[in-house]
Every structure is written in C-alpha cells, then in structure tokens.
Chain A
C-alpha cells in the first residue's frame, strides 16, 4: 500500500515541499488547512497547494474554503471547495439582495450537469465529519472577459470579425442557464469572470454555482440580469459609462446623445443603448439590450425569453 509520504514525494509541487503537513479527513476547520497539508477524501489524497483567491476591483480576495490541490494518486490538479455557510448581501446597483452560499446546491448542479461541457465538472462527497466537499476539475481556459479584452482591434473590426462567433458561443451559454432554469435551478452568480472560454474547444464554460437566494416572485431574475450584463460587455467590447465617455471630446459628443432612459435599470451610469455609441449595431440586438434599460416597460423573466430574441440577432449578423 502506498503511503501518503510516498504519494507526496512522487507528486510534490516543484516548490521546496520538504515534508507534508497534516492529513485531514475532517475539513470543518478549513482555515487551519494550508500549503503542504493533505486532505484525504473518498480514498484519494489531495495535496493542498494554496487557497484560491478572486481578484475583483484590483483587490485580491482570498477564499480560504477553496483549496487548489494536486490529487496525489493521479497528479491531476483539483479544486476542493469546503463547506462554508455564509450569508451576505449581494449588491446590485443600489439594491442589496440577501444571498447565501450553499454547498448542497452546487453539489446538486454538479450532478445534474455531469458530462455537459457547458459547465465546470466535478463531484461531491462527504468528509469524515459529513461536510459536503466538492472536488472540481480545473477549467482549462481563460476568463471570457479577459479573452475579449485581449483582442487588439477597434470596435468596428471586433464587431464585424469576432463578435458573431462570440455571440454564437454566448447563446450556447445562455442555453445552459435556460437548462438549469428548466430544472428549477439557478446559477446564482452570473458574472463575466464566471464564464470561461475553453482553450481547446473555444466553448464557454460556467463555473461556481454555490450562491443562492430566496426569491419567489421572480426566481430567475438575478440570473437573467447577469446574462444581460455579460451581453452588454460582449456587444460593446467593454462596459461604456457616462464617466468613461466624458473623458474625451469624442466621447462627450456621443454622451450628448445619450438620454436618461438609455442607462441600465440597475447601474444608472452604464449605457445600455449601444446604438447611440456604435450605430452599426443592428437594431434587434440593441433592442435586446434595451430590455435592461431604464426606458424599458417589459423585462425578461427567463433566459428562454432572452434567447428567443437573441437567436434572430445571430441569424441577422450571419446573413449580413
């Protein structure tokens, strides 16, 4: 039988890990589990390399309950998400929505989407204390927003040459969310940095499904809002705000055409009516975005409704 020491010696990180730390079967005290420790779970051993972190607004936000690991039996990289029940307010514009972190929900979605390349893959199992640990495969890809940012071209070129393909993939990503909604599930945290473009396939992959909230009048509203935000970013090759336009004479001239009803219903400085900035964007696509604007009288209630309007936009772009 292979010992943990032998496994560590075979797969230890290239950094100088002279000896491994503690072996944990109970992950309740996740703050104590760090670099060099080993989590034993389901007959496998996961060598902890570091805590994962999110970089938002220029700040590094460590997630102590999410461990980047090497699975010692296979040498594969894995992310272990440990149980951390958290309640906080998700701030969207001026509104605050009570939000919860649910390991059970994420585990359920992992089961539901197993083998579906539109979602991150993994499984869950209990540790020795019954904590629901999710073992996640690392997505081999790049954040979609960073991939779009990295395209070195002006907006007309981007829109003509890159955007149709991006929209086709984004529609598939929206289909994935509609699939969840059809099963009564929500993604819960749809943001630009939770959608990756796979390096090999180019397909878009959703990550992180552990947020949930209590909402019955419009159960999928937060997801639908998130999709609109990403769409705005993709169509505009970035977010365009009153502040960013005001920085240049040309921008100020464009800003003079923007009316109050053209701004986002949630973020009153974001311009949703991109037709005012990029007149070559087809009307139907602009109208989809305007469903998220102050001037709209009707909002999308589901990803399906958004898709019904979005698919003809792609057809139109391809025919043009």
Chain B
C-alpha cells in the first residue's frame, strides 16, 4: 500500500475543501505523490419523492454538485502549483446507502495508502443519529492511514 497515493473525499462542503487544501499544502513539490479526488454520489431516497420528476431533478442536482465539488477541489490543488498529471478525479455511486463504506471500497480499488476526510464537528447526538463519515472511515481503517482534517 503506497502512502503517497492519497484519496481525498470531497463533497463540496467547506470541511472537505479544507481537507483537500491541507493535502495540497503537505504534498506540494514532493516527489511520488498521486492524489485521487473522490466524490461519492448519494442518490436521494426514492421513497421521499412521490413525484418521479422531482426525484430525477434531485438526482441531477446531486450529480452536478458532485462534479462541481471535484472541480473546485481540483482547481484548489492546481492553484497551489501542483502538476495536473498527479491529480485524478472520480465519482462513485454510493454503495448500500453507506458513504464511508463506498470511500473505503474506492480506496481498495485505487490502492491508496492514505485516506483524507474532512470533519464536520458533529455533536455526540448528531453523530449518533446522522453518523459521522470521518469516524466511520477511521473506525474501519486497517493497513492504511487516515487523516481527519478538522
């Protein structure tokens, strides 16, 4: 597992952009790095959209948001003078309603030795009910490194 192959999870939020920015600061100019920016595309729950048109519209919005999140993070890294050749981007559909699990699955595919996630700073109650992606990624980490950027 190559620790210089870094997966950065981005979703357009400020904390995920901070995480990408942090990676840019650490990696800038260093040899042998590859950064894979990954956006997990979470489809809306079909059950909450009785109208199929509204469901499709929400899907489209989320797909556009994911693409925009990747582009924003990529531009941020390029703005730090990073070589475009070492930056990859990919969008992955969420597996089994589990964002953290999807990030970990992509990590396995990419062979990334480092995973970087932003932290939202949830309260305990929020973490219990809504779940914390960063906590779940860290909890399931084995044979790779997790950076949680707060």
**Interface of A with B (CB < 8 Å)?**
85, 87, 92-95, 97, 100, 102, 104-105, 184, 212-219, 221-222, 225, 265-266, 292, 294, 298-299, 301
Contact = CB atoms under 8 A, between A and B. Distances in A.
A221 B50 contact: no
B26 interface: no
A225 B128 contact: yes
Interface string B135-146: 010010000000
Contacts of A218: 128-132, 136
B129 A222 contact: yes
B50 A217 contact: no
B125 A266 contact: yes
B45 A97 contact: no
B100 A214 contact: no
A298 to B, nearest CB: 8
Contact of A102 (B48, B127, B133): B48
Interface string B72-112: 00000000000000000000001011111000000000000
B126 A294 contact: no
Contact of B98 (A214, A219, A299): A219
Interface in B39-61: 42, 44-48, 50
Nearest to B102: A216
6 contacts: A217-B136, A218-B129, A218-B130, A265-B124, A265-B125, A266-B128
A217 B100 contact: yes
B121 to A, nearest CB: 14
B130 A212 contact: no
Interface residues on B, range: 20 to 34
B45 A213 contact: yes
A216 B42 contact: yes
Contact of B129 (A105, A214, A221): A221
Contacts of B42: 216
Given A265-B125, A266-B128, A216 B48 contact: no
Interface secondary structure of A, over-half rule: loop
Interface of B: 42, 44-48, 50, 94, 96-100, 124-133, 136, 139
A69 B96 CA distance: 38
Contacts of A100: 45, 47-48
Contacts of A294: 124
B58 to A, nearest CB: 10
A48 B58 CA distance: 38
A212 B125 contact: no
A97 B129 CA distance: 9
A102 to B, nearest CB: 4
Residue of A217, A221, A222 with most chain B CB atoms under a 10 A cut-off: A217
**Interface core residue of B46, B50, B96, B100 (most chain A CB under 10 Å):** B50
Given A217-B130, A266-B128, 7 more contacts: A94-B125, A104-B46, A184-B97, A216-B98, A216-B99, A218-B130, A222-B129
Nearest to B120: A217
Given A85-B50, A212-B48, A266-B125, A221 B98 contact: no
A301 B124 CA distance: 14
Contacts of A217: 99-100, 130-133, 136
Contact of B45 (A95, A212, A225, A266): A212
Contacts of B136: 217-218, 301
A13 B2 CA distance: 75
B63 to A, nearest CB: 15
A219 B101 CA distance: 12
